[in-house]
Amino acid sequence: MATATPSRRRKDPEGRMPLREHLAELRRRVVRAGLALLLGAVAGWFLYDPVFDHLTAPIEELRERGQDITINFGAVATAFDLRLKMSVWIGVLVSSPVWIYQLWAFITPGLTRRERRYALGFVATAVPLFLSGAYLASLFIPNAVAFFTSFTPEDGSNIIAAQDYLGFLMRTILAFGLAFLLPVVLVALNLAGLLSGRGVLGAWRWVTVVCFTFAAIATPTPDVTAMLVLAVPMLALFALAIGVCLLNDRRRARRSGRWGAVDDDTASPL
């Protein structure tokens, strides 16, 4: 006698799931992002030499100007350890399309079908924003290095530890990329119903202070223009994110008012 196989439970059209399934979904997304990061780190191992030359170019430029400055590998295993760290860092940049997509895919189960389609467009926006922020940071690196080393006395020498120098650069570049990605995350939280546009708008003063503070720390030069070049795009991205959140809130409120008894997928064709 054939036994009936239990049928798979139908997926909730609104993406709701119990806590256990939610944690399983999180684990699945983290594993996929981790595998992409691992593959990116393998690629980063082979890209180490050109990336190292690019990041140390400001040191070479200062040396050509006559400044006594050099990078020091102070221990036997320093070069190997640094190559491992830079490989992982390069892997984060290379695999950014995958882990950003996994972040969105984890959020989108809580959205309606229409909003999930919108989310795919935001993923295509988030990746260029993250990489643009990282690239913008690399443009300020020569000025930052020249500014900090300018305090060295005339008779002194700059023997910079390789891990300290490259660690500072890697943290700065990654911070720029994440700062440009944050407005897209705000929109994602708004689509998921976890954050309202008015709530973000009400904190615009704090957002302005944080943007200028971050820009001042990330571009530690006496040139105010450098700080504005970073702060203004960040504020513009936050303003755009707030506008999208407010429009989505208005659309959600209009749909809830007229079709409160009808689910989203039924009302959307109308």
Q: Which segments in the chain show pLDDT lower than 70?
A: 1-19, 107-119, 218-223, 225-226, 256-270
Query: Cα separation of 270 and 265, whole Å?
Result: 10
Helix 204-218 × helix 224-258 angle, to 10°: 150
pLDDT digits (tens, 9 = 90+) for 119-164: 677 778 888 888 888 888 888 788 778 877 888 887 788 888 888 8
The single-letter code of the amino acid at 167 is G
pLDDT the model gives residue 268: 46
* CA-based nearest residue to 184, from 249, 115, 103: 103
pLDDT the model gives residue 167: 87
Adjacent-strand bridge partners of 161: 72
Q: 248: number of CA atoms within 13 Å, CB side?
A: 26
3-class DSSP state for residue 33? Answer: helix
Q: Are 200 and 186 in contact (CB under 8 A)?
A: yes
pTM for this structure?
0.72
DSSP letter, residue 260: T
pLDDT the model gives residue 149: 81
pLDDT the model gives residue 244: 83
pLDDT the model gives residue 251: 82
pLDDT the model gives residue 261: 40
